[in-house]
């Protein structure tokens, strides 16, 4: 489960960073953190429903 959460955070962070990078580096870092949090939250919610 921990490995899945780490990969979800990496993928979500990379997507958030890449999408917002043209607007500025600091904003892209914040978007990466938000993307990682959202993706980990989704994984947790989807796995708890079983």
* 1-50: pLDDT as tens digits: 889 999 999 999 999 999 999 999 999 999 999 999 999 999 999 998 76
Q: What is the CA radius of gyration of the chain?
A: 12
Exposure string over 23-46, b if 16+ CB within 10 A, otherwise e: eeeeebeebbeebbebbbeebeee
pTM of this prediction?
0.84
CA distance 24 to 48: 36
């Amino acid at each position: 489960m921990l490995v899945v959460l780490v990969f979800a955070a990496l993928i979500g962070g990379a997507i958030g960073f890449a999408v917002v990078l043209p607007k500025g580096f600091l904003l892209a870092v914040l978007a990466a953190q938000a993307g990682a949090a959202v993706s980990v939250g989704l994984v947790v919610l989807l796995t708890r429903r079983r």
